[in-house]
Amino acid sequence: MPLTAKPLSGLKVIELGTLIAGPFASRICAEFGAQVIKVESPDGGDPLRKWRKLYEGTSLWWFVQARNKQSLTLNLKHPDGLAILKQLLGDADILIENFRPGVLEKLGLGWETLHALNPKLVMVRLSGFGQTGPMKDQPGFGAVGESMGGLRYITGFEDRPPVRTGISIGDSIAALWGVIGALMALRHREVNGGNGQVVDVALYEAIFAMMESMVPEFDVFGFIRERTGNIMPGITPSSIHTTADGKHVQIGANGDAIFKRFMQAIDRNDLANDPALASNDGRDSRRDELYGVIDRWVNSQSLDSVLATLNQAEVPASRIYSAEDMFSDPQFLAREMFIQAKLPDGKDFKMPGIVPKLSETPGSSEWVGPELGEHNNVVLASLGYDAARIARLRESGAI
């Protein structure tokens, strides 16, 4: 196997998504070797190009989210633009789209049409509420999925309204489910001799699937999990505490043996040896007492002192990292979690590294997010279009 081989080399992925969920799914494919052709509107392209911090007019997020992708502009309302897309899909392995249900059908690109065109095609559809059900036609961003799926209800402090998690986690989790589903469908296609199929991911269901024991707890006990701030409800002790120098530290000492070591390390042998605290149910029943003890100890120490004591005692703990903390952290550096890249003007900048780490066929970042339509000529030439025909397509507004 060549040293440059990647696990998804040879796969052709067409991305019709915008913003977060669809593009993040195809980004993962691109990082691990798939040819990803991102189809964008000639009129500005993906709105993500203008989101958050801009460098010379382009989002830094864009350069990461679209790395390793080819940008092809197609006007899907123009018959020639639509014909090019159908040609691309004729031999594609995966189509990733996150339009509202019904949009592709109106373009004549519904599943039945695409399946007849290319029986091997796997179609990943990411939407707010899925392709069926009474809400399927409603618009639904990640924030709505996080709300309906249960995440926002339990996020925050009990005496305040729900809060968001700080990133668009609903979109990102949906993207991961989309990739998992696509790989399952490819496995079925290649190993079981099956045809392509639809991978239907609803954002609210992507979140709902992560909600741990919420469903049986309500069904059996009528228990509704509420917001609990920085503690992990029912699992004690696991919380965030503030040090004497104003830093924040997460301590997870909820394992039985770990709790005992923790109490011994902070000179609370009375608690370490208390048989009532030997298991989680006993500790959780005395949660407020234990968190008071931990708070007082952490409040009296510097962050470095807290971490040194807990590391020595083999108690899981971490400072709460900012981006600045990460940039100089030996663990991040040892794991190559920052990739050096160049912006279009040649300026060096860092991008996040590749996840997961594969020992034999690792992923990589070959180039940053492309300019709008940067690969028009290359992609169209691969379909048999000569320079004159491409020029006519451009003049007609098809690309």
Catalytic center residues: 171
Task: Give yes or no for a contact between 230 and 239, defined as CB atoms under 8 angstroms apart.
Answer: yes
Instruction: Give the CA diameter of the chain.
Output: 85
Token reading at 24 = 């993040």
Bridge-based pairing state of the strands 54-55 and 58-59: antiparallel
Give Cβ neighbours of residue 174 (< 8 Å, ≥ 6 apart).
Answer: 21, 126, 142, 145, 201, 202, 203, 206, 207
Nearest CA-CA partner of 33 in 391, 354, 371, 397: 354
Q: Provide Rg for the chain, Cα atoms.
A: 25
What are 58's strand-pairing partners? 55
Task: Give yes or no for a contact between 129 and 185, defined as CB atoms under 8 angstroms apart.
Answer: no
Distance CA 36, CA 95 (A): 10
Q: Hey, what amino acid is at 387?
A: A
Distance CA 100, CA 370 (A): 25
DSSP 46-90: -GGGGSSSEETTEEHHHHHHTTTEEEEE--TTSHHHHHHHHHHHT
Give Cβ neighbours of residue 399 (< 8 Å, ≥ 6 apart).
Answer: 42, 72, 73, 74, 75, 81, 84, 373, 376, 380, 390, 393
